[in-house]
Amino acid sequence: MGVQFNRKTIPPVWQERVPFNERGGRLRGCLDAVSGRFPGFVFGGQVGTDILPVFHFHDEQRADLEPKLRYLAENGYRSVTSEEIAQFVAGRLSHEPRRVGLCFDDAWASLWTVAAPLLRAYGLTAIAYAIPGRIEGGETRPEGRPFVTWSELRALQASGVVDVQCHTYSHSRVFCSSEVVDYVTPGYRDTSLLNRPQLRSTPSLRFVSPEDLGTPLYTARSRMSDGRRVVFADDVDRRCVEHVAREGGARFFDRRSWRAELSAIVRGARPDHSGARRPSPAVESIDSQRAAIEEELDRGRSMLNDKLGTRTVNHVCLPWGVSGSETAAALRRLGFRTAFANRLRGVHAVRRGDDPYWLKRLPNKHIFRLPGRGRRTFV
């Protein structure tokens, strides 16, 4: 289905804020701690009979990962698959106090080079939530490419060490406002790869790049949120990038007036070369939003099952833990078994009887607070 936009109902300036429940940071962490969202074992208690601790990892280094896996192995912990998590939620898996889930998000190259060898060494397994739209073609990984290759992912799945599941097709944030919050400057290179908003989904994926100096940055939300995408039909980002390139590239940002110059282009105060001023932004229709969300979920799952030669990819972790009413409905329509997503209520652990589309996890630093020899106290 093509993207449809509804211009008649767009306000003069479409503004949208990121809801508090989609934000992270220190304030959110403090609120979670004081509001009882951490399971009791984090504070020195035991793992309750209705609790299954699940921990998330990302791009890991051996020096940080190995002590955590060693702690689990030496204290007799066993790791579970995504299907066992679903069975526990449904009440069909008996409680074992030393059972945990280990989730590696994004399928970074370190899943193959660092995590898998350590998992084998310590007799543990993991769930990897891969992003098929980010895995580039070819069976070998060119130098500097950040994610695993398809051949590596197939080998991990076949080995039984890694249970490969879905992290949506593209793991994208999209612009949901016409309010400029910043521009791509030379410092944008420090922005995490997966936090750079999507500029285009068809015919191929394209994201904001550090090379796109001058590109306006608007309020962005996860594609899986209830935020509706805003698109600028006049390609205002191209005109900003061309202006920066004409005026010296990175050196342009040494000017005191650089922000005012780019803001003038965005506002339309300065016509383009044809003399035309930019039209109002367009916001996607509800139908287009639903179709885009379904595409992220269904295409991600289908592509992984096809490339891996499996039918077992039926679970998803939603990027940044963000979900919305449209995504929750799509998960049910598409028949996913479970989804990890965060919301303000509930404990950061999988609990028996939880809604299977709102499961929650803990940062992996809390592994050392599980009961066992060498346990660390909460600080």
State whether 142 and 259 are in the same domain: no
For residue 72, the model assigns a pLDDT of: 98
> Which domain, by its residues, includes 241?
173-222+234-278
The H or E element containing residue 57 is: strand 54-57
pLDDT of residue 361: 96
Closest by CA position to 176, among listed 240, 232, 237: 232
> Which contiguous run of DSSP H or E holds residue 117?
helix 116-121
Phi, psi of 78 (to 5 degrees): -120, 140
Task: Give the model's pLDDT for residue 233.
Answer: 59
8 A C-beta contact, residue 67 and residue 367: no
Mean pLDDT across 249-255: 97
Q: Are residues 182 and 208 in the same domain?
A: yes
Cis peptide preceding 67, ω within 30 of 0: no
Phi, psi angle pair for 101, to nearest 5°: -110, 135
Number of domains making up the chain: 2
pLDDT digits (tens, 9 = 90+) for 13-37: 455 677 767 676 665 565 666 556 8
Q: Is residue 127 within 8 Å of residue 165, measured between CB atoms?
A: yes
| pLDDT above 90: residue 95 | no
pLDDT digits (tens, 9 = 90+) for 324-365: 999 999 999 999 999 999 876 788 999 999 999 999 999 999
pTM above 0.85, yes or no: yes
Task: Specify the CATH number for the domain of residue 136.
Answer: 3.20.20.370
- What is the per-residue pLDDT for 2? 47
Distance CA 188, CA 202 (A): 24
Least confident of 66-70, 226-230, 277-281: 277-281
Largest CA distance in the chain: 73
Q: How many CB atoms lie within 10 A of CB 127?
A: 25
- Asked if 280 contacts 254 with a C-beta cutoff of 8 angstroms, the reply is no
Are 248 and 141 in the same domain? Answer: no
Tell whether 81 is covered by a domain.
yes
pLDDT for 67 beyond 90? yes
Residue type, position 135, single letter = I
> Are residues 298 and 157 part of one domain?
yes
